[in-house]
Chain A
Amino acid sequence: MSKKKYVGLLTAVPVASLLLLTTSCKTVKEYQKNKLNDAEMTLGNRSIEKTELSFQGYREGASGANAGKTGGGCGCN
């Protein structure tokens, strides 16, 4: 697959998924969010995962896209 097609596919898949999801979802009122507001339903990283993300950043070539740090601050990648 050529680089152009590859980048196109990378862009098209998330955009299509986003469109599909946002058009198929329903409006949830504040009083209906008790399950969504549960402390363990949070979409970001939790504080206790801080050191795990740090060592994974050191021990693996990839990093980022986890709403955390994306480089800098230590001698890692």
Chain B
Amino acid sequence: MKRIFLTAAGLMALLHSFSQKVPDSSIVPSRKLTIDEVNIVSSYYSQNGNNAAVTGGIGSEKLTDIATVFDIKLTRYDKKLRKHSFTGELGIDHYTSASSDKIDLKANSSASHADNRIYPSLGWTIENEKKGHSFGLGVSASTEFDYKSFGGNIHFSKKTNNRNGEFTAKFQAYLDKVSLILPVELRPGGEREHEHYPTSSRNTFSGSVSYSQIINERLQVMFLADVVQQQGYLSLPFHRVYFADGSVHQEALPDSRFKLPLGFRANYFLGDRFIVKTYYRFYTDSWGIKSHTADIEVPVKLTPFLSVSPFYRFYSQTAMKYFAPYQQHTASNQYYTSNYDYAKFNSSFFGAGLRLAPPGGVFGAAHFQSIELRYGHYAKTVSLQSNIVSLHLKFK
């Protein structure tokens, strides 16, 4: 009898211990500033082609770029249980360019053959999870030898009452400075090096709206629209244009450009292993370019923690009205460029990604949440081809 009583008492104690209410951090969120997420993305990009704008639409477009972006996200809750997110990002690019080297046609390896770009940014967002809205601000900068940029943004989001839809509005402004580095033969006196180059302004203002909607347990869609206005010096000063008479000129483009891109995304979870991600964009601008972009990516879950994601992107654009190839512009043209990025072309971009996100962390490291490797090959119908490989490490 004593044994039965002791066993019953022990079981009662055990059950009681299981029924103790453990404080749930999701109900009583931390007011301390905590690291939410750290991301490191590193990429290697390499391209080649034969239509460099620096040499007037002919010549090597060989270019390599090594880019690394480090970002950190911190969060805390305030007294009113509003979530504050702070983001910091630092990107560093190192690139080499065969065409930039040809600012001086006689140079073999001039100062312009390689450069670094550094681009930090900071952001703050306050989110009221109960009411389903958020508001945020951000600043950014970017600097390289011939280009400086300062940006600011403000954004607002509101979820629908049933939390199945979300509207977002964002306004961005970039105030940029372009150094006026001319092709050497067009400089007064043909000077090779300058201590200080004069600069010109390029300002960009954009408004973006998006609306995302959950359709059912497997399908969600998003509509995106931007309006972008650019003002100022919109050419690149070292791009050459050769006229039909053989004379050489600096690229000349209007000092205003209006862009209107409209996008649509739809993601569908098919069965238990497949996700179908689609994207379409229509684009038009005041310089006469119209384009269509269609993208499909199909992540396949080989296991719950390992997936492979083949993708294909098709892009098509009409030529800008100021574009003509090498030696086809004439003195009667007010604006002119031989930059093949503004020519009529189609392009294909395809490749695959591999993502590993085991529940115990990558290589057993609890905070190392996921690792992803992605490769893509890009080919234009106007000679340019490129390859890119990217690695993403995520820590939580």
Interface residues of A (CB under 8 A from B): 10, 14, 17-18, 21-22, 24-28, 30, 32-33, 35-36, 38-43, 46-52, 54-56, 58-67, 69-75, 77
Contacts and interface: CB of A to CB of B under 8 A. Distances in A.
B301 to A, nearest CB: 8
Interface of B: 39, 41, 43, 45, 47, 65, 67, 69, 71, 117, 119, 140, 142, 144, 146-147, 149, 151, 162-165, 172, 174-176, 178, 202, 204, 206, 208, 210-218, 220-226, 228, 230, 236, 259, 261-265, 267, 269, 275, 277, 279, 281-283, 285, 287, 289, 291, 293, 299, 307, 309, 315, 317, 320, 341-342, 347, 349, 353, 355, 357, 370, 372, 374, 376, 378, 380, 384, 386, 388, 390-392, 394
B269 A41 contact: yes
Contact of A25 (B206, B216, B262): B216
Nearest to A22: B213
Contact of A71 (B163, B204, B220): B204
B281 A52 contact: no
A40 B45 contact: no
27 contacts: A14-B262, A17-B264, A22-B213, A28-B217, A40-B355, A41-B269, A41-B277, A48-B374, A49-B374, A50-B390, A51-B388, A52-B43, A61-B341, A64-B206, A64-B226, A64-B283, A65-B225, A66-B261, A70-B172, A71-B174, A71-B230, A71-B259, A72-B151, A73-B119, A73-B140, A73-B151, A74-B147
A75 B1 CA distance: 87
B32 to A, nearest CB: 25
A67 B369 CA distance: 24
Where chain A touches its partner, the secondary structure class is loop
Contacts of B146: 75
B226 A41 contact: no
Contacts, number: 209
A67 B261 CA distance: 11
B67 A36 contact: no
Contacts of A26: 215-216
Contact of B282 (A10, A25, A74): A10
B216 A65 contact: no
B269 A38 contact: yes
Nearest to B141: A73
Given A26-B216, A41-B275, A77 B149 contact: no
Contacts of A77: 341
Contact of B218 (A35, A48, A65, A67): A35
B265 A28 contact: no
B217 A72 contact: no
A27 B388 CA distance: 40
